[in-house]
Amino acid sequence: MNNSLAFYQELGMALSLLVLGTFVLAGMVKGMIGLGLPTIAMGLLGLAMAPTQAAALLIIPATLTNLWQLAFGGHLPSLLKRLWPMLLAIVLGTLGGCLWLSIDGGHWVVRGLGAALLLYALSGLLLPTLRLAPAHEAWLAPLCGLITGVITSVTGVFVIPAVPYLQALGLNKDQLVQALGLSFSVSTLALAAGLLWRGALGGAELGASLLALAPALLGMWLGQWLRQRISAVLFRRVFFIGLGLLGAHLLISG
């Protein structure tokens, strides 16, 4: 606990408040639409701190909220049977990327994060929901997993192209929510292993990440409350527009 408090003391009051506010907002988005916590967290924290610090802070909130999302639905055995090639490729891509590329690669990593956020926002705003023929899953699943893993290793964001791929499988609502939780859980744990191997995830970082869990859970509760009171379509549109502006800013400013 002392190490955790020292971590935030080293960040300073302003950055500590940014961290807490970011995880409330990121949790709120996840509570509303079932995804977005690491995306929002990396995007906003990337404005003010090193990507390795931001990635370390999201490990515990992302892992526990994703496992919670994964636990409900009753489709886990069938999803594991169908998605294991993509999940295995995510692990290999993330660990390989952490070994060869690294999330602490400098300004180009911040621009990479901005590009990933912008692409994700544009795909959500402009692209129709695609439908993938089952015959293509055998080769496309590991390819999407590998690309997702590499992007995760250098940006800390694991939505591209995993989320569009899962949305194209024709899963029902409950299956899709559980599939997203499964994909995000694997990505988060693989990223944590990569950061640990590189020495960027120690006791202080894990303790600081644990303290970020409370505002993330508060945000999820608020998001679930809001989901019952505003249009999900309107919220998704505002979410993607804001995410696109944030990604463009990171891409341009580096």
Q: Mean of the pLDDT values across residues 2-29?
A: 79
Helices 203-211 and 51-71 pack at an angle, to 10 degrees, of 60
Which of 26-30, 43-47, 109-113, 175-179 has the lowest average pLDDT? Answer: 109-113
d(CA 153, CA 149): 6
Q: For the chain, give every domain's residue range.
A: 2-253
Nearest-angstrom CA–CA distance, 61 and 113: 20
Res. 167: pLDDT tops 80? yes
Q: Look over the chain and give the mean of its residue pLDDT values, rounded to a whole number.
A: 83
